[in-house]
Chains A and B, each alone.
Chain A
Amino acid sequence: MSEKIVTLSDATFDEHVKASDVPVLVDFWAEWCGPCKMIAPVLEEIAEEQTGKLQIGKLNIDDNLDVTRRYDVMSIPTLILFKDGEPKARLVGAKAKGQLLQEISEYL
């Protein structure tokens, strides 16, 4: 995994996401989810390209149910874009890179 991507957990979520100077795109994922595997490389690319403008975070839902429930995630992959600690955009399901960037572009 790219070193530009931060691994989030119930314990560290607030400190990373609420305190971030740049928007954070959080990937709610699990090991057993095929579509999550499909978007992993897309997120790696975005993390490299958007360094300094956007932080990508990954949250394993199996291990971090608190945050998963807090944001009513009921389908994975779900990507939520946080700006100033607040959820601004929500993308459900695997999407192609262009589409994904387009849907979050107004917050970048």
Chain B
Amino acid sequence: MSEQRKILIAGSGPAGLTAALYSARAQLSPLVVEGEPSSTSDQPGGQLMMTTDVENYPGFPAGVMGPELMIAMRAQASRFGAEMVTDKVTRFDLSASPFGVWLGDPEAAEPTYLAEALIIATGARSLMLGVPGEDRLLGYGVSTCATCDGFFHKDSQIAVVGGGDSALEEALFLTRFADKVTLVHRRDELRASRIMQDRARANPTIEFRWNSQVTAVLGDRKVTGLAAVDTVTGEESEIGVTGLFVAIGHEPNTGVLAGQLTLKDNGYITTFGGTKTSVEGVFACGDVQDDYYRQAVTSAGSGCMAAIDAERWLEKRGS
């Protein structure tokens, strides 16, 4: 028998946990399917678990560590009765409320839970380059987590690939350890914010390598370099580094929703009128529906909106 809940929240980043906090305080006893440990995508706490200093979350004048912030958000939601399950959703049935939610075997006849209202806050994952050598050398110089692995690159030369805020944040962070950080970018300008660009350009340890695309990660048992091609001239070259950090952007975790909800062309969930989705009773918040702002504070804000939207929707249908 499936257990029935008023509200089920999938995801436990700032959006999911804020939705949990608000719906718990509204006496809706939310169940949070928080994800399971991973270094790339489905980890409880979301992307902030991979960061260090968060300087732009209001209320922390001295900054706060990403994992600490998430542990605090989780504790705050739990305090009001939100229940956490450390697992991930393998299948949804969104045909009608109550919606079916499967954990574990997606082929099981009965869903694990039935939820009258559903809040999708499954976030986004980091994209990898998808070039030869990258997978094989993951953990041997290729990293998805600068804050975890920067330490191992003391006094060495490393590369960060990407041109947005997160690439520059990683590059700046890595200058604490490395002798030289080469920022490899496909174009000749960055899309990162002004303040991050100014900081990076002012840092003598960061060198920019423009118009360069990485084509392979080199090395037998450890990273010894990168093969790159100039996107303008087509000239091939090698970048001598012992570490590679990839920060080229994100894709939303909407795989298990395909075909059941309206998604934008880039895979993000389409929302309207607040956090409503194309299915009545299903709400979405945070990075899974936001390909533009993608901030911890906007995620938390939209999580609050989703909880209020879900609460009012439940109230209106008299459940």
- A residues near B (Cβ < 8 Å) are 30, 32-39, 42, 61-62, 72-78, 90, 92-97
Say whether A33 contacts B147, CB under 8 Å: yes
How many Å from the CB of A77 to the closest CB on chain B? 8
Report A-chain residues with C-beta under 8 Å of the C-beta of B147. 32-34
Select from chain A the residue with minimum beta-carbon distance to B152: A74
Q: How far is the CB of A81 from chain B (nearest CB, A)?
A: 15
Distance, CA A78 to CA B148, complexed state (A): 11
Q: A58 to B50, alpha carbons, bound, how many Å?
A: 21
Given A30-B151, A36-B148, verify A72-B140 contact (CB < 8 Å): yes
User: Would you call the interface of chain A mostly helix, strand, loop, or mixed?
Assistant: loop
Determine if A34 and B38 form an interchain contact, defined as CB atoms under 8 angstroms apart: no
Number of interface residues of B (CB under 8 A): 32
Considering only residues 106-147 of chain B, those with a C-beta below 8 Å from chain A are: 138-141, 143-145, 147
5 A-B pairs with CB atoms under 8 Å apart are A30-B148, A74-B243, A75-B145, A92-B139, A94-B37
Assess the B138–A75 pair: CB atoms within 8 A.
Answer: yes
Instruction: Annotate B51-66 by CB proximity to A: 1 below 8 A, 0 otherwise.
Output: 1100000000000011
- What 6 additional pairs, Cβ within 8 angstroms, besides A74-B143, A92-B138, A94-B43? A35-B43, A37-B49, A37-B71, A73-B152, A74-B141, A97-B36
Tell which of B38, B45, B52, B139 touches A75, judged by Cβ atoms closer than 8 Å. Answer: B139
A66 to nearest B CB, angstroms? 14
A70 to chain B, nearest CB (A): 14
With A61-B151, A74-B140, A75-B149 as known contacts, state yes or no: A34 contacts B67, CB within 8 Å: yes
User: Do residues B139 and A93 form an inter-chain contact, with CB atoms below 8 A?
Assistant: yes
Interface flag for B76 (CB, 8 Å): no
Query: In the complex, are the beta carbons of B143 and A34 less than 8 A apart?
Result: no
Contacts of B43 in A (CB 8 A): 35, 38, 94
B40 interface residue per 8 A CB criterion:
yes
Chain A, residue nearest B153 (CB): A74
- Set of chain B residues within 8 Å of A36, measured between Cβ atoms: 148
Query: With the chains together, A59 CA to B275 CA distance in Å?
Result: 45
Cβ contact of A33, chosen from B148, B221, B243, cutoff 8 A? B148
State in angstroms the CA–CA spacing of A96 and B86 once bound together.
Answer: 9
Does any Cβ of A come within 8 Å of B97's Cβ? Answer: no
A44 to chain B, nearest CB (A): 12
- Which residue of A has the minimal Cβ distance to B242? A74
Nearest CB in chain B to that of A95: its residue: B37
Indicate whether B222 reaches chain A with its CB closer than 8 angstroms.
yes
A15 to B87 alpha-carbon distance, docked (Å): 37
The residue on A at minimum CB distance from B88 is A96
**A30 to B145 CA separation, bound complex (whole angstroms):** 13
Q: How far does the Cβ of A92 sit from chain B's closest Cβ, in whole Å?
A: 3
Identify which of B39, B43, B50, B143 gathers the most chain A CB atoms within 10 Å of its CB.
B39
Q: How far is the CB of A30 from chain B (nearest CB, A)?
A: 7
